[in-house]
């Protein structure tokens, strides 16, 4: 039971508003050529990291609830930790544990999926991100379910692969497809018909989020469900052909359909069962709505809506219960910062553009769609542009700042949080110059914001949720230097990094009342919640991880 926070006897709190700035995807990288953060002209960020207390926060692996420290962090688990003040076991770990224990296969949902195709003579379909990036999905989870399906005498299985190139190497698709085909050859038998049926790049089909571009989901529907699109004899042929014709990286590969002499090998039809095997929620909700939406579904014309049993790997939205069936229970995140602040009567603001709006609201609040208080919480979404991010690397940072400054100067909010997506969304494109530009655009906004914070006698915590822009080239593990292509150019990296992130305590008025523990190197993102509460003049709940400041 969450109760009101207890006032600190040592510090009454900052005089003005307290602002937390999340520079999405901005880690602390090395001095190599791939560090777009360091290469960019960022006088404001450079100054505050030099002149104000700065702590490095761990933002990956076990520090954010992932299985091991080889697992890169991501925005979802990062914002969970930032907002919750604690570390909860996250999707990848939950699914792996459920598979290892067999709990996933004992679930009512798994039994319903298998029973449905046994009775109807239909096909069991798996759709999901096809890599071991462990951010949205893991190919080992798919393999485990395929093995189990064969053991339970499912006769026909089709797999619809969404190519990654974002959480893994940008042109690594065949590194997954070729061994997977060998794996399927070992499973296939006269009584078990299994094959890849369709696919495409994750930024082209199916995996839209926050309803930014429903046409992606529509293209996925036509590809996976209707079997419409350019046909190939195999996924390997599709990838090699598109690469030679278009020269695009995996995440941008167009959709493809696998067909034989009789046509598409794996359309989705009445009586089939469908598993969307991604465990992360943001890019799983829209395709789930498409499968489960009734006659009132208006996002696009589905043409044909097969009667299937559909399930997600997890429940992607716990408040709206999307999807209605799922294989693994999501983490129950409780006692979040927002809930405590509401209970204490403090008014707070969350703002970002569409691409990260859900992160400062839904994920920050422990995967909760609704507010804890309509009166005390304000959410502002600045609509994102639907264009390739490298074409407008500044994104909506100026518009976000315009509105944020207006809200700061209103005097209405004691605590505010803002996410600037630039370092992450542009960093994912692999375009170094665009990412460098995105950091410079962000730095201009930091300068504007901090002037207002000072005018209001407030303070700011400037941090990030994970690294990305800090390592834009693949690093050779042996030499520690960026890898090069045959033509001498650097090999682009589009995934997150394992680097720590900065946490700067910017306070020109009350910093004499507390000490920042800069000597410590073991803090994670979850320590930000206690830090916020302390700087607001309250004792942090004992269940939270330790604050970065000492009162």
Domains 18-89+333-372+412-421+461-550 and 92-328 agree in fold: no
Tell the residue number behind the tokens 């518009």, with chain if given.
399
Q: Is the pTM of this model over 0.85?
A: no
Q: Note whether 43 and 443 are within 8 A (CB).
A: yes
- What are residue 258's phi and psi, to 5 degrees? -90, 130
* 3 state DSSP class of 128: strand
358: its two tokens? 């859900």
Query: Does domain 92-328 sit in CATH 2.60.130.10?
Result: no
- Catalytic annotation, pick one of 8, 75, 107, 288: 75
User: From first to last of its 551 residues, what are the pLDDT tens digits of the chain?
Assistant: 799 999 999 999 999 999 999 999 999 999 888 999 999 999 999 999 999 999 999 999 899 998 778 888 889 899 999 999 999 988 888 999 999 999 999 999 999 999 999 999 999 999 999 999 998 999 999 999 999 999 999 999 999 999 999 999 999 999 999 999 999 999 999 999 999 999 999 999 999 987 889 999 999 999 999 999 999 999 999 999 999 999 999 999 999 999 999 999 999 999 999 999 999 888 999 999 999 999 999 999 999 999 999 999 998 876 578 999 999 987 789 999 999 999 999 999 999 999 999 999 999 999 888 999 999 999 999 999 999 999 999 999 999 999 999 999 999 999 999 999 999 999 999 999 999 999 999 999 999 999 999 999 999 999 999 999 999 998 877 777 888 887 888 888 888 999 999 999 999 999 999 999 999 999 999 999 999 999 999 999 999 999 999 99
The vertex-298 CA angle with 297 and 300, nearest 5°, equals 110
Residue spans of the domains in the chain: they are 18-89+333-372+412-421+461-550, 92-328
Structure tokens at 325: 């069936």
Which residues, in sequence order, are bridge partners of residue 58?
Answer: 524
User: Under CATH, which number does the domain 18-89+333-372+412-421+461-550 receive?
Assistant: 3.40.720.10
Q: In whole angstroms, what is the distance from residue 490 CA to residue 267 CA? A: 40
Report d(CA 120, CA 114) in Å as an integer: 10
DSSP for residue 247 = -
> Taking a C-beta distance cutoff of 8 angstroms, is the pair 140, 148 a contact?
no
Write b or e for each residue in 108-137: b if 16 or more Cβ atoms lie within 10 A of its Cβ, otherwise e: ebbeebbebbeebebbbbbbbbbbbbbbbb
Does the annotation count 107 as an active-site position?
Answer: no
């Amino acid at each position: 039971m969450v109760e009101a926070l207890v006032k600190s006897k040592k510090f009454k709190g900052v005089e003005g508003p307290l602002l937390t700035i999340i520079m999405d995807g901005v880690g602390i990288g090395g001095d190599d050529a791939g560090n777009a953060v360091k290469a960019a002209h960022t006088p404001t960020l450079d100054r505050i990291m030099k002149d104000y207390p700065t702590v490095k926060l761990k933002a990956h692996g076990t520090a954010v609830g992932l299985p091991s420290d080889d697992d890169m962090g991501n925005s979802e688990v990062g914002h969970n930790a930032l907002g919750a003040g604690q570390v909860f076991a996250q999707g990848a770990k939950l699914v792996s544990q459920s598979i290892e224990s067999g709990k996933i296969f004992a679930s009512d949902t798994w039994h319903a999926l298998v029973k449905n195709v046994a009775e109807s003579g239909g096909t069991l379909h798996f759709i999901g991100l096809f890599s071991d990036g462990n951010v949205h999905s893991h190919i080992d989870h798919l393999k485990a379910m395929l093995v189990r399906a064969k053991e339970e005498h499912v006769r026909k299985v089709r797999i619809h692969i969404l190519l990654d190139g974002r959480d893994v190497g940008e042109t690594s698709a065949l590194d997954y497809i070729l061994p997977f085909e060998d794996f399927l050859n070992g499973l296939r038998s006269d009584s078990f018909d299994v094959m890849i049926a369709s696919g495409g790049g994750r930024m082209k089909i199916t995996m839209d989020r926050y309803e930014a571009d429903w046409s992606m989901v529509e293209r996925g529907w036509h590809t996976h469900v209707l079997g419409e699109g350019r046909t190939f004899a195999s996924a390997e042929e599709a990838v090699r052909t598109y690469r030679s014709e278009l020269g695009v990286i995996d995440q941008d590969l167009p959709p493809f359909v696998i067909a034989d002499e009789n046509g598409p090998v794996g359309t989705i039809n009445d009586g089939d069962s469908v598993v969307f095997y991604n465990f992360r929620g943001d890019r799983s909700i829209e395709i789930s709505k498409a499968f489960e939406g009734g006659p009132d579904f208006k996002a696009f014309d589905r043409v044909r809506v097969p009667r299937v049993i559909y399930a997600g790997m997890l429940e992607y939205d716990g408040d709206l219960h999307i999807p209605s069936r799922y294989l693994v229970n999501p983490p129950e995140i409780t006692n979040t910062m927002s809930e405590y602040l509401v209970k204490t009567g403090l008014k707070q603001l969350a703002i970002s553009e569409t691409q990260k709006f859900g992160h400062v609201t839904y994920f920050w609040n422990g995967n909760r769609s609704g507010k804890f208080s309509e009166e005390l919480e304000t959410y502002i979404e600045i609509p994102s542009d639907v264009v390739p991010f490298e074409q407008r690397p500044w994104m909506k940072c100026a518009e976000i700042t315009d509105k944020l400054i207006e809200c700061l100067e209103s005097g209405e909010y004691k605590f505010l949080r803002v996410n600037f997506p630039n370092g992450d969304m542009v960093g994912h494109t692999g375009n170094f110059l665009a990412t460098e530009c995105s950091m410079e655009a962000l730095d201009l906004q930091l300068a504007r914001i901090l002037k207002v914070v000072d005018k209001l006698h407030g303070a700011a915590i400037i941090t990030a949720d994970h690294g990305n822009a800090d390592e834009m080239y693949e690093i050779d593990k042996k030499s520690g230097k960026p890898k090069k292509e045959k033509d001498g150019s650097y090999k682009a990296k589009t995934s997150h990094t394992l680097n720590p992130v900065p946490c700067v305590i910017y306070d020109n008025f009350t910093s004499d009342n507390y000490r920042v523990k800069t000597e410590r190197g073991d803090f994670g993102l979850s320590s930000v919640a206690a830090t916020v509460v302390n700087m607001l003049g309250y004792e942090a709940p004992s269940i939270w991880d330790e604050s970065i400041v000492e009162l």
